[in-house]
A and B are shown apart, each in its own frame.
Chain A
Amino acid sequence: MTKIRRLISRFIGGTQCVLGALASVFAFLVYISLSTRETIAITSEAEVYLYMFLSLVFGVFSILSGLFLLREAK
Chain B
Amino acid sequence: MGETRLKRELGLLQATMMGIGGAICAGVFVTLGYAATLAGTALIIAMALCGIINLFTMLSYAELGAAIPSAGGEYTFAKASFGGFLAFATGWFEWISNMFYASFCAVGFAYLVSYAAQAANLPIALNVPVVAVITVAVFTIINIKGIKETGGTETALVIVLLALLCIFTIWGLFGGQGTSNMELSAPGGFFGVLRAAAFIFVVYLGGEAIAVAQAEIKDPGKTIPRAILLSCLSLIIIYTIIAYVVLRVPLGDWAGKESPLASVAERFMGPLGVGIITVAGSIAALSSVNTSIMAQSRVAYALARDGYFPKSFFSLHKRFCTPYIATLVGSIFVAATAATGVVNFVAYATDFGFIIGFIFVNLSLIKLRRDKPNLYRPFKVPIYPLTPILGISTSLMLLFFLEPSTLFIGAELFIFGLIAYYTRMIGHYRSCLAAGGMNLGISAFSALLAYLIISASLPIPLSQNMILLIFGVAVFISIIYLIAFLLNITRKEGE
Q: Is the CB of B345 within 8 A of A31?
A: yes
- Residues in chain B near residue A36, CB distance under 8 A: none
Please classify the interface of chain A as helix (H, G, I), strand (E, B), loop, or mixed, using the class held by over half of its residues.
Answer: helix
CB distance from B436 to the nearest CB of A (A): 8
Name 22 A/B residue pairs within 8 A (Cβ), A-sorted. A1-B495, A8-B483, A12-B480, A13-B484, A16-B484, A41-B460, A45-B404, A49-B404, A49-B409, A52-B408, A53-B411, A53-B412, A56-B412, A57-B412, A58-B442, A61-B442, A64-B435, A65-B438, A66-B484, A68-B432, A68-B488, A72-B491
Q: For the complex, what is the distance from the CA of A31 to the CA of B477, rounded to whole Å?
A: 23
Q: In whole angstroms, how far apart are the Cα atoms of A65 and B483 in the complex?
A: 12
Number of A-B contacts (CB under 8 A): 66
Asked if B439 is an interface residue, CB under 8 A from chain A, the answer is yes
Closest chain B residue, CB of each to CB of A30: B345
A37-56 CB contacts (< 8 Å) to partner B: 41, 45-46, 49-50, 52-53, 56
Shortest CB-to-CB span from B347 to chain A, Å, is 12
Q: What distance in Å separates the Cβ of B478 from its nearest Cβ neighbour in chain A? A: 12
Q: Which residues of A contact B (CB under 8 A)?
A: 1, 5, 8-9, 12-13, 15-16, 19, 28, 31, 41, 45-46, 49-50, 52-53, 56-58, 60-61, 64-66, 68-69, 72
CB distance from A34 to the nearest CB of B (A): 15
* Beta-carbon contacts under 8 Å, B310-353 to A: 342, 345
* A57 & B415 in contact (Cβ 8 Å cutoff): yes
Residue of B nearest to A58 (CB): B442
Find out whether the CB atom of A72 lies under 8 angstroms from the CB atom of B487: yes
CB of B487 within 8 A of CB of A5, answer yes
Chain A residues whose CB sits within 8 angstroms of the CB of B488 once the complex forms:
65, 68-69
Q: Provided the pairs A60-B419, A61-B419, A68-B431 are in contact, do residues A9 and B487 lie with their beta carbons within 8 angstroms?
A: yes
Residues B412 and A8 in contact, CB atoms below 8 Å apart: no
Do residues B484 and A65 form an inter-chain contact, with CB atoms below 8 A? yes
Residue of B405, B412, B419 near A64 (CB, 8 A) is B419
User: Is the beta-carbon distance between A53 and B484 smaller than 8 angstroms?
Assistant: no
CA distance A61 to B438 in the complex (A): 9
In the assembled complex, the CB of A44 is this many whole angstroms from the nearest CB of chain B, namely: 10
Which residues from chain B contact A8 at a C-beta distance below 8 Å? 483, 487
Can you list, as one digit per residue, whether each of B452-465 has a CB less than 8 Å from chain A (1) or not (0)? 00000000111000
Taken residue by residue from 436 to 477, chain B's Cβ proximity to chain A (1 for < 8 Å, 0 otherwise) reads as 001100100000000000000000111000000000000001
CB distance from B420 to the nearest CB of A (A): 10
* Separation of A62 and B201 alpha carbons in the complex (Å): 37
A1–B461 CA distance with the chains assembled, in angstroms: 48
Q: Name the CB-closest residue of B to A16.
A: B484
Pick from A12, A52, A72: contact of B483, CB below 8 A. Answer: A12
Interchain CA distance A46-B459 in the complex, whole Å: 18
Chain A residues with Cβ below 8 Å from B411 are 53
Asked if B191 is at the interface of the complex by the 8 Å CB criterion, the answer is no
User: Using Cβ atoms and an 8 Å threshold, which residues of chain B touch A52?
Assistant: 345, 408
B416 touches A (CB below 8 Å): yes
Q: Is the beta-carbon distance between A65 and B491 smaller than 8 angstroms? A: no
Q: Is B114 an interface residue (CB 8 A)?
A: no
Complex contact A19–B438 (CB within 8 A): no
**B460 near A65: Cβ-Cβ < 8 Å:** no
Residues B495 and A50 in contact, CB atoms below 8 Å apart: no
Question: Lowest 7 A-B CB distances belong to which pairs?
Answer: A49-B408, A65-B435, A49-B405, A53-B408, A31-B345, A12-B484, A12-B483
How many Å lie between the Cα of A65 and that of B484 in the bound state? 8
B residues in contact with A68, CB < 8 Å: 428, 431-432, 435, 488
